[in-house]
């Protein structure tokens, strides 16, 4: 019998990002989508109006700027959690 997996992400509720990182957050979100898209395409997926796992079709295989806001929110949430974790772990982000 497999052991039940219970995710335990580090709490990031106490972390507030500096306002200056808003542009970085959006750039990371876009790159998250690009990496996801590249992996899907490398696995044989193509754009389709409706998701179909058996035919490997997905409506989100479009450039980031063409995604609807709900889809962008998913990528932004991933980017935000990553940035907050960096700060939570004691690192700083400095632009050169």
Query: What's the confidence (pLDDT) of residue 11?
Result: 96
| For residue 1, pLDDT beyond 90 | no
Query: What's the confidence (pLDDT) of residue 2?
Result: 83
Q: What is the per-residue pLDDT across 41-73, written as a single tens digit (0 to 9) for each?
A: 999 999 999 999 999 999 999 999 999 999 999
Q: Please report where in the chains the tokens 């409506």 appear, as a residue.
A: 59
Domains and CATH numbers, the chain: 20-87 (1.10.490.160)
Query: What's the confidence (pLDDT) of residue 95?
Result: 87
With a pLDDT cut of 70, the percent of the chain lying above it is 100
How far, CA to CA in Å, does 48 sit from each of 23, 61, 74?
30, 8, 20
With a pLDDT cut of 90, the percent of the chain lying above it is 92
Q: Are 96 and 54 in contact (CB under 8 A)?
A: no
Residue 59 burial (CB count, 10 A)? 14
Q: How many CA atoms within 13 Å lie on the side-chain side of 16?
A: 1
Rounded-to-integer distance, Cα 65 and Cα 63, Å: 6
**Global pTM?**
0.88
């Amino acid at each position: 019998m497999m052991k039940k997996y219970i995710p335990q992400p580090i709490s990031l509720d106490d972390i507030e990002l500096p306002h200056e990182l808003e542009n970085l957050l959006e750039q990371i979100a876009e790159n998250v989508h690009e990496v996801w898209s590249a992996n899907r395409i490398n696995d044989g997926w193509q754009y389709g109006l409706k998701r179909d796992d058996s035919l490997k079709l997905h409506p989100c295989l479009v450039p980031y700027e063409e995604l609807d806001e709900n889809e962008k929110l998913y990528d932004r949430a991933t980017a935000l959690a990553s940035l907050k974790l960096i700060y939570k772990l004691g690192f700083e982000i400095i632009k050169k």
